[in-house]
Amino acid sequence: MKDVWVIDGHCDSILDFLEGKRSLTTPQEGGHWDIQRAKEGKVMLQFMAAFIESQYKPERGTLRGLELIHAVHRFIQINGESVVLVRQAEDLRRLAPSQVGCLLSIEGGEILGNSLFLLDIIYELGVRALGLTWNQRNAIADGAGELTQSALTQFGEKVIQRMNELGMLIDVSHLNEAGFWHVLKLSTQPILASHSCAYALCPHPRNLTDEQLKALAQNGGVVGVNFYPGFLTQEPKASLQDVVRHIQYIAEVAGVDVIGLGSDFDGIESTPAGLEGADKYGDLAKALHLAGFNDQEIEKIMYKNFMRLLSTVLK
């Protein structure tokens, strides 16, 4: 099982590329994710998150978001046949074993301001997933950091409807709980929590409760288990086994079909011991095997559940 394919639902590496810190080609440049390590880890598809930093919000959120989208396109163009932009599920199925697919995701609905037409524009630019909020409030909803029980705004309701029509993945990872339930009520398509863990094992506001995990499973959605130590454990450090522990727990509560991976590589300051970069996914597959998961279950966790979600939602 060390050779199983991988879909990773979240990394923040494009910021380093935009700021000229790394070319994202080799491990020698540092960080957690690059093309070489992704290929070694058998990553077939990487969700490349364009994270709009707090200093750009709210007035410059759209401009910064477009700058990040452009950076993803430049990264793909520079690397020729090695990296391919994935817009539809069919693009993913056509990938060669030597290629890494890249799905463009926006982390923070601030890119829209309060203008629905911008959703169509970023869709035309190749964006296929949108995190409705980061931790703060925006025109769509309240983020998990607000600790409120406010549901989606009227504008947020329109965003959900239009994302369903376009065939975009609705990402609720940073959304507050009331917003999560509101999205589930409104969406006609399965939804995504691209990088979250189990609240019962680590009570952080960014993690999902048992009820949320079960509802996500019933919805046909996916939760990408996050590698951030602060979401995995209340101990000072985390290990690969903490990731396995969260996967085991979610499987027991909501079933294997809801589980994916959402590393948060290059968006986290430290990683669990044993998962220092994108080349280590084979070790995670092996650890899942040793924990009692069979080959079919491991394939679902590593990539097939995400494949199902993408095939359902993308048009």
CA angle 247, 192, 224 (to 5 degrees): 25
Which residues constitute the domain of residue 95? Answer: 6-313
Domain for residue 78, yes or no? yes
Domain for residue 1, yes or no? no
Burial state string for 146-185 with b = 16 or more CB within 10 A and e = fewer than 16: beeeebbbebbbebbeebbebbbbbbbbbbbbebbbbbbe
Q: H/E element holding 305?
A: helix 305-313
Give the largest Cα separation in the chain, rounded: 50
Domain for residue 183, yes or no? yes
Q: Give the per-residue pLDDT at 147.
A: 86
Rounded Cα distance between 121 and 19, Å, is: 24
Question: Where residue 17 sits, what CATH number does that domain have?
Answer: 3.20.20.140
Domain for residue 20, yes or no? yes
Closest CA to 44 of 9, 112, 88, 95: 95
- CA 92 to chain CA centroid, Å, is 16
Rounded Cα distance between 86 and 78, Å, is: 16
Q: Give the per-residue pLDDT at 112.
A: 98
Q: Give the per-residue pLDDT at 298.
A: 98
> How is residue 129 annotated by DSSP?
E
Domain for residue 268, yes or no? yes
Q: Give the per-residue pLDDT at 132.
A: 98
Q: How many CA atoms are closer than 13 Å to the CA of 108, on its beta-carbon side?
A: 28
Domain for residue 181, yes or no? yes
Domain for residue 56, yes or no? yes
pLDDT in tens, the chain (315 residues): 567 999 999 999 999 999 999 999 999 999 999 999 999 999 999 999 999 999 999 899 999 999 999 999 999 999 989 999 999 999 999 999 999 999 999 999 999 999 999 999 999 999 999 999 999 999 999 999 998 999 999 999 999 999 999 999 999 999 999 999 999 999 999 999 999 999 999 999 999 999 999 999 999 999 999 999 999 999 999 999 999 999 999 999 999 999 999 999 999 999 999 999 999 999 999 999 999 999 999 999 999 999 999 999 998
Q: H/E element holding 43?
A: strand 43-51
Q: What's the structural domain count of the chain? A: 1
User: Is the dihedral angle over the CA atoms 26, 27, 29, 35 positive or is it negative?
Assistant: positive
